[in-house]
Chain A
Amino acid sequence: MTEKMTRQSFLLRNPSILVVLALLAVFTVAVTLLSQAYGSGAIPTSMVKVLGKTLCLALAAVAMDLVWGYLGILSLGQMAFFALGGYLIGQWLMYARTEGIVAASLAQNPIPPTPAELQEGVANQIFGVVGSSDLPLAWSFAHSLPLQLLLVLAVPGLLALVFGWLAFRSRVNGVYLSILTQAMTLALALWLFQNDSGFRGNNGLSGLQNIPGLDAVDQATLSVWFLWASAAALALAYVLAAWLVSGKFGSVVRAIRDDETRVRFLGYPVEGFKLVVFTLAAMITAIAGALYYPQAGIINPAELMPIASIYLAVWVAIGGRGRLYGAIIGAVVVSLLSSWFTGGRAPAIHLPGYVVNWVDWWQVALGLGFVLVTLFAPKGIAGLFDRLGGILPPQRHGRDLGPDGGALQEQEAKA
């Protein structure tokens, strides 16, 4: 009885959950019915992949919103977790597929290959490109899907936990913390760029769109399956995040964002709360990455460069931080616009003497849009919903600060 009441009130207090889930369901069904694999074929497979990837980016944006919009940490290293998720699932995808190919070619030999020969052949295939033929230690579990899936959660989670523990414990805050997170992702990227770090250097991992064991399934079908998986992950993460930020936990987290010192004097271990949210967000981001890169097909260390994480922050800011659906709106709108403008399909503007080519000018437009949103709509696109719903912050310049007659005027309070 009481449980039912709390569940009802949880949904009642968060009407956005039902709206987001409903829209997501409608979107998924619509794309499926228009796909080449399951429907009319109006949406080409490449577009289905773009939409599926967009859902993964929205998932990363929801995690970013938890960290930035609710906890107040402008992390410029979130995409490190995203790419780590991609690398870790990519290890299995590449290993298992290469293993299949090597096994097939060795099967022609009169003597069946030993496991050691098989592994040597796989290592040669994968690492020949960086002039190595040994399987690095980091690939010890690459043969097993369950183990690599576990690592998808464990490695980014552990990285976030250790990094966060060190940073939060020494009370690094604000812009210094942002720089530190940026340094983390940059260091990781530079390490991965090296040939001998065991991740194929700047070649990265490729051929990830081919799922081992599913050779019979064509890309058109696979793309829809990944779209479903991405939509399901986004839906689950949205409900989890909404549950997390409602109630007392969310209250404390927002309080930490607004006045960390005061929260300490209430007796809350601020560092512990930061660690929980930061680590959880890293794990959600890693799942997003693990779903994204099989759709993208390739991952390389450039994906970890700080600019990717800055884009993520821009999406959340444009969508409206501090509300979860804002993050989704921002990621979907900006990344879809971005792929439209940079895909060469946007018509160029012919000015006298100059042609505005969107491939070159899109970033300028995005930067300008970011500045405009920051200046004129600090609540982002999601803030427009408030305006539609009539929830406006009271226009209160020079008025009483409080509800009672004797309350101070704003000017008095400032003095």
Chain B
Amino acid sequence: MTALLEVDSISVSFDGFKAINNLSFNIGPAELRAVIGPNGAGKTTFMDIVTGKTRPDSGDVKWGTPPKSLLRMNEAQIAREGVGRKFQRPTVFEDQTVSENLTMALKAGRNPFSVLGWRPSRASAARVADLASEVGLAAQITRKAGELSHGQKQWLEIGMLLAQEPRLLLVDEPAAGMTLAEREQTTALLVRLAETRAVVVVEHDMDFVRRLNCKVTVLHQGSVLAEGSLDHVTRNPDVIEVYLGR
């Protein structure tokens, strides 16, 4: 299987602190992967590198077939390549309505002039309505995003990600601040999405990871400590030591 994303022995250090140390990581075009690790393991830095927010000191990040390097692109170009990112804290545009938020995320021309020429069509309106009902916000479509509850904002952000139609989805702690029912809903959604695209979930919560029922990559001190099924990695003595302490 050819990989969609191939992270090849990247390293990055901040003021001498090695946040990522010779890390390699592959994911296929339709795969669900959980990335776990204690605080400071480099999970967020890893996402920052893939999305272009941080440049690694060495190594390469290759994307698609034929593989091209993501390191020469900026955040917006990487996003246009099809990498979507969901932040831990829901970041939606609070001053704008649910429908405006979704419309902005819809896959369409992104340069200023094509945006100026863009007009809502019946198809785009239907797509926005579909997305809103998919994330349970059909009744809130004309409300400002700032008026939504924390959980609803999470859902709106997920809806915006879906609208982008990314080929790779990076999801940072989706379960944070969600109720039990919402977690189950999120799990189901992530599993379903991974049928057609690559999904990387960064998570602290072991129960949530267990429910995802997928391959797990354990990060520790900026490199991969173990990889495999959840049962496999939790039996790994190194992982036990890192998670349970000495």
Q: Which residues on A are within 8 Å of B, measured CB to CB?
A: 6, 244, 247-249, 251-252, 254-255, 258-259, 261-262, 264-270, 272-273, 275-276, 394, 400-404, 406-408, 413
Decide if B76 touches A269 in the complex (CB within 8 Å).
yes
Interface residue SS majority, chain A = helix
For the complex, what is the distance from the CA of A394 to the CA of B144, rounded to whole Å? Answer: 12
For A267, the chain B residues whose CB sits under 8 A away are: 76-77, 79-80, 110, 164
- Given that A248-B118, A266-B160 are known contacts, is A255 also in contact with B96, CB under 8 Å in the complex? yes
Decide if A403 touches B140 in the complex (CB within 8 Å).
yes
Q: Which of B85, B113, B149 gathers most chain A CB within 10 Å?
A: B149
For the complex, what is the distance from the CA of A259 to the CA of B118, rounded to whole Å? Answer: 22
25 A-B pairs (CB sep. < 8 Å)? A248-B103, A249-B115, A254-B96, A258-B94, A261-B53, A262-B93, A264-B74, A264-B75, A265-B84, A266-B79, A267-B80, A267-B110, A268-B76, A269-B76, A269-B111, A276-B113, A401-B147, A402-B147, A403-B143, A403-B147, A406-B179, A407-B150, A407-B152, A408-B151, A408-B177
Residue interface mask B98-125, A partner, CB < 8 A = 1 = 0010011100001111011011100000
For the complex, what is the distance from the CA of A269 to the CA of B150, rounded to whole Å? Answer: 28
- Given that A248-B104, A249-B112, A404-B149 are known contacts, is A258 also in contact with B93, CB under 8 Å in the complex? yes
Q: Which of A244, A266, A269, A275 gathers most chain B CB within 10 Å?
A: A266
For the complex, what is the distance from the CA of A269 to the CA of B73, rounded to whole Å? Answer: 12
Could you count the A-B residue pairs with CB atoms below 8 Å apart for me: how many are there? 103
CB distance from A14 to the nearest CB of B (A): 15
Decide if B104 touches A269 in the complex (CB within 8 Å).
no
Q: Which 9 pairs show the lowest CB-CB distances between chains A and B? A: A402-B149, A407-B149, A267-B79, A264-B75, A267-B80, A276-B112, A255-B93, A262-B91, A401-B149
Decide if A265 touches B103 in the complex (CB within 8 Å).
no
For A394, the chain B residues whose CB sits under 8 A away are: 147
For A265, the chain B residues whose CB sits under 8 A away are: 51, 75-76, 79, 84-85
For the complex, what is the distance from the CA of A162 to the CA of B93, rounded to whole Å? Answer: 30
For B110, the chain A residues whose CB sits under 8 A away are: 266-269
Which of these, A251, A264, A273, contacts B100 with CB under 8 Å? A251
Decide if A254 touches B95 in the complex (CB within 8 Å).
yes
Decide if B140 touches A413 in the complex (CB within 8 Å).
no
In the complex, B41 has a CB within 8 A of chain A: no
Decide if B91 touches A266 in the complex (CB within 8 Å).
no
Q: Which of A265, A269, A394, A404 gathers most chain B CB within 10 Å?
A: A265
For B113, the chain A residues whose CB sits under 8 A away are: 276
For B191, the chain A residues whose CB sits under 8 A away are: none
For the complex, what is the distance from the CA of A403 to the CA of B145, rounded to whole Å? Answer: 12
For B160, the chain A residues whose CB sits under 8 A away are: 266
In the complex, B193 has a CB within 8 A of chain A: no
Query: Quick one: closest A residue to B97, CB to CB?
Result: A251
For the complex, what is the distance from the CA of A272 to the CA of B111, rounded to whole Å? Answer: 7
For the complex, what is the distance from the CA of A28 to the CA of B84, rounded to whole Å? Answer: 52
For the complex, what is the distance from the CA of A80 to the CA of B93, rounded to whole Å? Answer: 33
Decide if A248 touches B115 in the complex (CB within 8 Å).
yes
For the complex, what is the distance from the CA of A82 to the CA of B60, rounded to whole Å? Answer: 48
Extra A-B contacts (18), CB below 8 Å, given A267-B80, A404-B149, A406-B149: A244-B116, A248-B115, A249-B116, A251-B96, A252-B115, A254-B96, A258-B95, A261-B53, A265-B75, A265-B76, A265-B79, A266-B79, A266-B104, A267-B164, A268-B76, A269-B76, A272-B111, A403-B148
For A261, the chain B residues whose CB sits under 8 A away are: 53, 75
Query: Quick one: closest A residue to B100, CB to CB?
Result: A251
CB distance from B230 to the nearest CB of A (A): 29
For B74, the chain A residues whose CB sits under 8 A away are: 264
Which of these, A266, A270, A273, A275, contacts B105 with CB under 8 Å? A266
CB distance from A271 to the nearest CB of B (A): 9
- Given that A258-B93, A400-B149 are known contacts, is A252 also in contact with B76, CB under 8 Å in the complex? no
For the complex, what is the distance from the CA of A408 to the CA of B111, rounded to whole Å? Answer: 38
Which of these, B93, B119, B147, contacts A254 with CB under 8 Å? B93
For the complex, what is the distance from the CA of A254 to the CA of B93, rounded to whole Å? Answer: 9
Residue interface mask B161-183, A partner, CB < 8 A = 1 = 00010000000000001010000
For A407, the chain B residues whose CB sits under 8 A away are: 149-152
For A251, the chain B residues whose CB sits under 8 A away are: 93, 96, 100, 103-104
Residue interface mask B122-147, A partner, CB < 8 A = 1 = 00000000000000000010010001
CB distance from A250 to the nearest CB of B (A): 9
For the complex, what is the distance from the CA of A264 to the CA of B73, rounded to whole Å? Answer: 12
For A404, the chain B residues whose CB sits under 8 A away are: 149, 152
Decide if A259 touches B91 in the complex (CB within 8 Å).
yes
For the complex, what is the distance from the CA of A408 to the CA of B53, rounded to whole Å? Answer: 31
For A413, the chain B residues whose CB sits under 8 A away are: 150
Decide if A401 touches B118 in the complex (CB within 8 Å).
no
Which of these, B76, B105, B118, contacts A264 with CB under 8 Å? B76
